[in-house]
Structure 1
C-alpha cells in the first residue's frame, strides 16, 4: 500500500486525539546543499542475491570484509535478465566506506538502449517500537547531521557486520541508545527507504517485555535524548510531520494497522 493511502486509511479509522503539548518542536529544516544537482536515477537493477561484493549466508546479505567493510570489485557478466527488463553488463565500485558503497553499472534498459546507472549499496538498518505494558513508547531526539536539524525518531541504526541478522541489530541498537532489553520481538515489516538511489531497507520491529539497563551511546549520539510518550503522542509526531524518519513512521503505522497498539 502506498504511504499516502495508508495515512488516509489510518486517519479515517483512528482519528487523532487533540494534540497534547510535549517536548520541543523541531526547528525548521535548512536547505540541503546540492540537493538539486542529483542526477535523475532509475529503478535498481541488481537483485538481492546478485549484489556485487556481497555474499549470502543463512541470516541474510553481508559484505565480504577485506580491510574496508565493503570491498572494491569490478565484475563483467552476461546480461541475463528477462527480455524487456533491466539487465546489468558490468559493475564497478567507485567508492567504499565502513557504511556504504557507491557503484557504477553498465546497464541495458528495458527499451534495449545502453547506459550507466549510479547507485549506493547499503547493509540496511533497523527501527524499534519499544513499548511498555501500559502502551508507552520510547522515542529519541537528536541532531541529524545530513538534515541539519533536530528530529524525533524511534531507536534505530545500521546493521553491522557482526550482527547475526536484523533482529540482532535491533536488539543491539535498542540497548545502545536506550539501555532497554526486550523479552519479546515481532517483525513488523521492511520498507525500501530511497528507491532509485539505493537498495537501503529498514527492518521494523516491535519490542515488548522491556527491562531497563544502562545506555551505551556512540560518540555521535552524545546529544541523544530518550523520552517516553504514549503511543498516540508518538503516532501524532508521524502524522504531523515531526518524525520524518521513514523507518520510524513505517514502524508506528504498521503497529497501529496490525492492531498492536
Structure 2
C-alpha cells in the first residue's frame, strides 16, 4: 500500500496548464484587439470588444468600451491609397466636365435663339467655362450702367447658374487702351470695375444664388484678347467675362482637391 502511495505522489504536477491556457487566451485576445484597432469601423470594434469582455471578464476588463471612444479610433483610420484618391478626383472632374458642357449647350441655344451670336461667345477649357459679352451689348459707350434690354441676358444667365450652386463665378470687366477720364470714371480701371460690379449685381438679384461664390474684378486694359491697333481689335477687348470655375484641377498636377484660379 505504501508503494502505491509513493507512486501516486511522484506523479507529474500539471497545475502549470492553467496559467498557460490563460496566457494563450490573453494572447489571442491581444491579437484580436490589434486587428480591431486597425479597422476603420468603430461599430465592429465595439462588437468584438463586447464579446471578449463577456468571455474573459464578465463584461469588464481590458476591452472595456470606456477605454475607447470615437476620437481614439480616428488615429487608427486607414489612409486612402493615392490611386484611390486619384480615381475619385478623376470621377469628380468627369462630372464637372459634363455639368459645364451641359451649361455651355444651354447658353449656346439661348444665344442662337435670341440672335446674340455677334455679341456673346462661350468657351470651355480644362479649368472653366467662360462667357464673353461685348460691351456694346451691355453698356452705352463710356458708361457702366447696364442697358435695360441687357438685363434680360443677365437674368437668363443667373437662372442657368441655379443648377450649379457649388461653382465659383468671377465677373471681370475689360476695356481697350484708349484712356478715359471723366468725372465718374477717372480711368479704365474704374470703368471696368464698375461694369463688372453692376453686371454681377443683376446676377445677384436671383436669391437662389450664393453671394459667397461670386466676385467682380476690373482688369482695365491690361488683359487684351486682341490688338488695340485697330477698331475691330479694340471692340473685342471691350468686354465682360463671366467665368464659371471648376473646383478640381488635373490630379497629375496636384493630387487632391483645390480651387482652380487661373
What TM-score bracket applies, with the shorter chain setting the length?
under 0.3
TM-score for both structures, normalised by structure 2: 0.20
What is the TM-score when the length of structure 1 is the normalising length? 0.20
Structure 1 or 2, whichever has the larger Rg, is: 2
Q: Which has the higher helix share?
A: 2
